């Protein structure tokens, strides 16, 4: 009886784990590349006493690899955003943002995120998962752990997706906060204090072709 119970528990665990994977046409190991041709971007938001500061970075690239039989267990990859591509709509503020007094684009040209693990995977649809993606975030020469609340959608190649890019597509949306003092960045732009926490949203599309 005990063996039967243990066997049943094992079957249930396997069923739960396998349920948190993509159910798509493809199988096996997949690698997706994210490049500027797909118009990937990261946005950031903070506040000052006078106004909100919103910005966008259009130079967002990277790649991920995972096995469709075990997304959470096999996901790996890196992403980066070029500091020089960050714009806030005001040229003088952009210069300050990229200067040695703030993010220092010359000394530290890229902001990077390297995936280390995946937790709390939730199946939203056959081709869509929600998950907490953990990794090492490098900014201004400092690296700290960050958890990104992520939604990942796998799109089988179709006539509609071919209009964006050939191959299967992976659509990623991730949100996380960056605490400036954790990365030795002063929280002011042209004399105006900004919030310690910067809200970051990343929207990416990658192809496996």
Name the token pair of 105. Answer: 């684009």
**86 contacts: CB under 8 Å, gap ≥ 6:** 44, 55, 56, 57, 94, 97, 98, 103
> Strand pairing partners for 67?
29, 70
Provide the residue ranges of all domains of the chain, joining segments of one domain with +: 22-207
Query: What pLDDT is stored for residue 204 in this prediction?
Result: 97
* Number of other CB atoms surrounding residue 110 within 10 Å: 16
Measured CA to CA, the distance from residue 22 to residue 129 in angstroms comes to 7
- Helix or strand or coil: residue 195? coil
Q: Give residue-wise pLDDT tens across range 88-141.
A: 999 998 998 999 889 999 999 999 999 999 999 999 999 999 999 999 999 999
**How much is the pLDDT for 1?**
54
Domain 22-207 belongs in CATH node 2.60.40.10: no
| The pLDDT value given to residue 178 | 95
- The b-or-e profile of 55-82 (16+ CB within 10 A means b, else e) is bebebbbbebebebeebbeebebebbbb
pLDDT of residue 192: 63
DSSP helix/strand/coil, 72: helix
Identify the segments of the chain with pLDDT beneath 50. Answer: 2, 4-18
pLDDT of residue 112: 98
């Amino acid at each position: 009886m005990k063996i039967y119970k243990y066997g049943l528990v094992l079957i249930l665990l396997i069923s739960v784990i396998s349920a948190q994977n993509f159910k798509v046409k493809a199988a096996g190991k997949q690698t997706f590349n994210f490049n500027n041709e797909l118009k990937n971007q990261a946005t950031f938001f903070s506040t000052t006493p006078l106004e909100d500061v919103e910005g966008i970075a259009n130079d967002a690239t990277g790649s991920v690899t995972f096995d469709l039989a075990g997304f959470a267990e096999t996901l790996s990859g890196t992403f980066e955003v070029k500091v020089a591509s960050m714009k806030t709509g005001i040229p003088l503020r952009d210069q300050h943002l990229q200067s040695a007094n703030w993010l220092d684009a010359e000394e530290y040209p890229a902001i990077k995120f390297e995936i280390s693990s995946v937790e709390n995977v939730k199946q939203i649809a056959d081709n869509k998962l929600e998950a907490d993606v953990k990794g090492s975030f490098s900014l201004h020469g400092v690296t700290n752990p960050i958890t990104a609340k992520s939604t990942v959608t796998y799109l089988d190649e179709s006539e509609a997706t071919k209009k964006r890019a050939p191959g299967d597509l992976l659509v990623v949306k991730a949100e996380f906060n960056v605490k400036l003092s954790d990365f030795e960045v002063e929280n002011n732009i042209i004399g105006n204090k900004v919030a310690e926490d910067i809200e970051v949203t990343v929207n990416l599309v990658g192809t496996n072709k």
